[in-house]
Amino acid sequence: MKDYFKKGFSSEVTHGVCPTCKEPTMLISITKDFYRCITCGADLEQKINGVISYIPRMNAKPEA
C-alpha cells in the first residue's frame, strides 16, 4: 500500500448517500476503489457497471 501513495495518488472527496447509515454524506477515498463514509465510518467499495454505486465492504473476519 505504501507504493500506491508514492505514485501520486491523492484522496478524493465525493458526496453521496451511504448505503450503511442511509445519510447524505461525504465519502473520502482511502484507496482507488474504496471510500469511507464520514458520518458512520463504514468502508464502501466502488463498483462501476455503467452506473457508479457504492456497496458496503464485507469484512473477511466477523467482528467480536
Rounded average pLDDT over 5-30: 84
Handedness of CA 34, 58, 27, 2 (dihedral sign): negative
Give the start-to-end residue ranges of the domains of the chain: 2-56
- State which amino acid sits at residue 28: I
What the block records as the C-alpha cell of 13 is 472527496
Phi/psi class of residue 41: alpha, beta or left (left: φ > 0; alpha: ψ in -120 to 50)? left
**Whole-model pTM over 0.75:** no
Q: What are phi and psi of 5, to 5 degrees?
A: -75, -25
The rounded distance, in Å, linking the Cα atoms of 38 and 17 is: 11
Looking at residue 40, its pLDDT comes to 93
29-54 pLDDT, tens digit per residue, is 888 888 899 999 998 888 877 666 77
